[in-house]
Chains A and B, each alone.
Chain A
Amino acid sequence: VSAEAISEHELLRSARAGDQDAFGELVVIHAGRVLGALRRFGLDSSEADEVAQEVFLRAWRGLARFQERAQLSTWLYRIAFNEAQRRLARRAPPHVQLDGDRDDPVVSLPEAPHLGPEAQALDHEFQQTLERALAQLPHEWRAAVVLRDIEGLSTQEAAQVVGARQAAFKSRLHRGRMALRALLEPYLDVDEG
């Protein structure tokens, strides 16, 4: 067990006993991750800031229900996912159009330099393209890709976050990845002989 985990455990115990300072420290530890996930789920910057506060306020009110054998981060992702979905449900759903080249949504995007798996940092232009492609995915597929591939959760954790069985989650993840691959094809093309 790492020192970080022990420290978080102590903070959590104090917070559950009503210590607001301890809870504030937990917010500092997890806020970046929650904000990042909210933005990646599809909220804009100011919405994400506002919803992140709601996430932590809900967590504070629900601390008594939190089971310590679960990861605090996974629980916070779950609250964040639910809050984000509530917001996103009010919008028109995104629609991926990949019927041949004529409607390919990435045709109009600028050319990207070759992206190798060995690259340590992503090209800024590719990042922007990726954001735009992610925004075109249905919310559930997008959340699956964000949680598993960007946030780095395991399949089991990510399925818990979205409240789905693992098989259903894996199906969303695969569909999301395949759709994203199709959207990003000009940037990912490889010579595989």
Chain B
Amino acid sequence: VNRLSAYFADLVESTGQAWNRFWFTPSDPLPCSILRIVVGCLVLVHLLLATLELDRWYLKSGVVAPESVTALVQATRPGSSFHWSHFNQLGTTESRVAHAAAILIAAAFTAGVATRATGVLTLAALLAYFHRLPFLAGHAEPVLIFLVAYLCLGPAGAYGSLDRLIARRRVQPGDPPLAPPQPSYWATISLRLIQLHLAVFVAMMALAKLNGDAWWDGEAIWHLLARPRSRPLDLSGLRGYELLVNFWTHAVVYFELAFPVLIWNRLTRPILLALGAIVWLTLALATGQWLLGLALVAASIAFVPHKDR
């Protein structure tokens, strides 16, 4: 009994220490700052593309009326009612003003102006677009949303930000120089949340694929390439290369199954990061989801090893 209780005491102690090390070891905010710039640029691209389709899709008078959205969301997710969007309430002019404001706020977040505040506002803006048409939202939108949400927590404006530049300019001759950004456990929490969420998200994408036969029999990529009206590139010349199509299909699934497990291993991490860029960006050639590919590659930056200064 004593040995058993000692085992459990040791287990609890070790788990607690590992938990604290994982979440609360202070780290340099540089990776958060790099992510802020990269993710902010992708958010800007997403919002600028939304400008082209603002009237058609997002306004109250858009293709799908707000009440139809409710009915269609309920059809796939009964009981769901958590999709508030200001686009459902505002008129045409107000929606256009809100869209312009969203672009400005995202630009301020990317540039590092009042980063936490502009981060929260950017997140609110992204959610408004997502919830206007949740069943037609872009594949990249949920990835951008969780990246911005977690970057709001950490000191993402510590490096390469306008705030930092202004603070440096304000230092008068004779004043002590501006102190470099200090390691912060909020930077660690922010990065760890991105890492964990990305790992589970990729696992979800793999499980989604395994829910259908086409990703098992190796023909799913062909079915994407053969769609006559939605394939972004005509790669139908691959019809004569069945084994290549099989390899491409299996490579996507095996990679997405391996990623959530092996990305935590120091030795396999660089290989997975390189493979991730290849797999997600080549998959975009078949699906047209290039923004998702870029968002996943950007999120992977959270796993790039960084030595504290």
Binding partners A and B:
no
Question: Hey, which bits of chain B sit against chain A, CB under 8 A?
Answer: none
Question: Hey, which bits of chain A sit against chain B, CB under 8 A?
Answer: none
